[in-house]
Amino acid sequence: MSTDNYQDEPIVQTVAEPLHQILKQQAGITEATAPATTPATGARPTAPKTLAFRPTGRQPLAMLTILDDGQRKAGEVVRIRGPRLVIGREEGDVTIPFDPDISSEHAELRCQKRDGKFQWYLIDLGSTNGTFLRAYRATLPKKADLVLGSRRYQFQLPESVSSEQDDEIAETHRYRAPSRTLAENFLPRLAEVGAPDGRAFRFGKPSLLFGRDAACDISVADDPFLSPRHVQFYQDERGRWMIEDKKSLNGVWLKIKRLPLSQQAEFQLGQQRFRFQPNVVAD
């Protein structure tokens, strides 16, 4: 076929007429000749659903929203097309210069390919004040930093009792009742961080409610950003301490160093909150 003939070929716009209809016409199949039902079931055959085009040889398009104050959805949208995006106060792809609690280079979103699949990670870059992820339910490690309401806390499990000097005991000591302070050392506690007169709350039972309401096991009535029943601390069947959001308005935020993000997530750097969508799917 010559170049001139090729240029004379008609261009079919499949937006107005679906491609499968064009193929039917070229094959001489019309609505009158096409079978109305299948012989076995008597039902009209259904064609497999056509999928919208998605890239398979590169990472999927991701989206970061720098949330407006007091919002969970509205904000400035940044589409991420590269494998790495750095957020900081002074340096990076996204800068928040007016937030003094954000480090110069605070955190990054990084995409890596493993076993043929793309995986996004949220990684703290050694920031001063940490990177916090919004969580509905989570297992609490030995020391877990949390944001609840307007304050930061650290959940602390008691240190294990050491028996290194058991063999060195030379004589039997007369029994003395342990002091209250010593007994409390064997209980988990929630300690306020960053305040000169920070409060600490001991966990005297395996399940406690934390919130602004006076009926909670731990009540912080002077924090207006706490919900009346904000969060529950409890031990699961394996004895692990868990935290669970009780549908609070402002959420439960857990400090992380590196975490895979396989679905939409919210995180906080300094006083700025973000929403991240690892796979942007058109409606």
Q: Give the pLDDT confidence of 237-262 residue by residue, as tens digits.
A: 999 999 999 999 999 999 999 999 99
- Residue 49 pLDDT class (50, 70, 90 cuts): confident
254: nearest Cα among 82, 172, 136, 170? 136
Residue 6, CA atoms < 13 Å, CB-side half-sphere? 3
Q: Identify the helix (H) or strand (E) that includes residue 3.
A: helix 3-8
Maximum Cα interatomic distance, the chain, rounded to a whole number of Å: 109
- Residue 106 pLDDT class (50, 70, 90 cuts): very high
Q: Which residues sit opposite 243 in a β-bridge?
A: 138, 233
Task: Compute the distance between CA of residue 17 and CA of residue 1 in angstroms, rounded to an integer.
Answer: 27
Task: Produce one character per residue of 180-218: b if its CB has 16 or more CB atoms within 10 Å, e if not.
Answer: eeeeeeeebbbbbeeeeeeeebebeeeebbbbbeeebeb
Task: Compute the distance between CA of residue 280 and CA of residue 157 in angstroms, rounded to an integer.
Answer: 40
Average pLDDT over residues 25-54: 66
Q: Identify the helix (H) or strand (E) that includes residue 25.
A: helix 19-26
- Residue 110 pLDDT class (50, 70, 90 cuts): very high
Task: Compute the distance between CA of residue 254 and CA of residue 137 in angstroms, rounded to an integer.
Answer: 10
Single-letter residue type at 138: A
pTM: predicted TM-score of the whole model, two decimal places: 0.75
Place of tokens 């949208």: 77
